[in-house]
Amino acid sequence: MSDSLEVVSRTATGSRESRRLRQQGLVPAILYGHGEKCIDLAAKREALEAVIRHGSRIVELKGAVQTSALVRELQWDTFGVEPIHIDFLRVSASDRIKVKVPVDLKGECPGQRAGGILSLLLHEIELECTADNVPEKIHALVSKLELGGMIKVHDLELPKGSRALAALDETVVSCLLPAHKGDETAATTDGAEPELIGRKPAEEGESAAEGD
């Protein structure tokens, strides 16, 4: 079930107006799609953060507009703490859309009890599905994952009518014996230095939709 979000219209745009809205506890937004005109909106920060915490991708917009919308893009402040702009895409229940959905682990892994290291390698997966059938998350069932085993994309249980856009043989979860220190040293010496990947918040400022 999708969350509802109260929105209000805004007539002014630009960086100065957006800063003023944020000071009032509002987040600037824009609604577009389905061949209709773009509408500039704003939503209360607390209400929007609640929607984000729930993991909702489809939102029922109320107030200034009455429509179902997909959270297409969410822009954060420099520290990645507060949302500063959101793009909504109009959708109907039958629309087929592409969304990225988080993957989590479900069950107790027998391979882990045997001394293996359980690793979630694919943290989110892109799906093609109807707008009324977007899952909050995809569960990787590890209750039958033995030591040395792997779960591939094609092993995941997807909602009916959904299609994974990732390579079907891509590894989602593995349960392997821990590497020996000697192996780790050799891997570091012989190969390239590991790349550290983290969340990079969006630059401050407005999205292209804001006209900056």
The sheet with strand 171-176 has its strands ordered as: 117-120, 171-176, 150-152
pTM: 0.68
How would you classify residue 166: left for phi > 0, otherwise alpha for psi between -120 and 50, otherwise beta?
A: beta
pLDDT per residue of the chain (212 residues) written in tens, 0 to 9: 578 999 999 988 898 999 999 999 999 999 999 889 999 999 999 999 999 888 888 899 999 999 999 998 999 999 999 999 999 999 988 899 999 999 999 999 999 999 999 999 999 999 999 988 888 899 999 999 999 999 999 999 999 999 999 999 999 999 999 886 445 444 444 444 444 434 445 544 454 445 44
Domains of the chain: 3-91 (2.40.240.10), 97-189 (2.170.120.20)
